[in-house]
Structure 1
C-alpha cells in the first residue's frame, strides 16, 4: 500500500466580500508591498511607501508587532491598515 498524505480543502464563498470590489486593486497593492519584503517585517515594507507614524498606528490598530512577517498577518488584519493608510 503506498504511503500518501492527503487532505481535502473546502472553499466557501462569503455572502459579503470583506471589501467592496472598488477597493480590491488598492488592497492588493498594499498586500503586495507588505509581501515585497525589505527585511524587518511588514512595517519595514509598508514604511517605504507610507509615513512610518501612520504605518505604526495602523499596525497598532490590529495589534500587530512592527516585526510581524507577512505570512503571520491574517487577511482581516490587512484590511485595517488598508483603510487607515488610504
Structure 2
C-alpha cells in the first residue's frame, strides 16, 4: 500500500510516475483505485505448476526487470525505482 501512497504523493509534486505490478491470476489493477495522475502497468505473470516459492520470486524479479528495461529506454530517464 505504501508504494501507491508514495507514487500518488510524487505525482502531486509534479513527477511523472509509473507503478508496475505483477498481474497474477488475471489481475488487471490494484486492490484500490489509483490516482489517475499515476500510470499503472500490470505485467502479465502466469502461474506455473510445480514452481517453488524461491523459483517464483526469482522469475518475478526477472519478469519485472525485463519489462522495466523494455519500457524505459535510457536508464538515465528514471529517478527512483522502489521495489518491495
Q: Please state which band the TM-score falls in when normalised by the shorter chain.
A: under 0.3
- Higher fraction of strand: 2
Q: Give TM-score scaled by structure 1 length.
A: 0.25
Pick the structure with greater CA Rg.
1
Q: Give TM-score scaled by structure 2 length.
A: 0.25
- Higher fraction of helix: 1
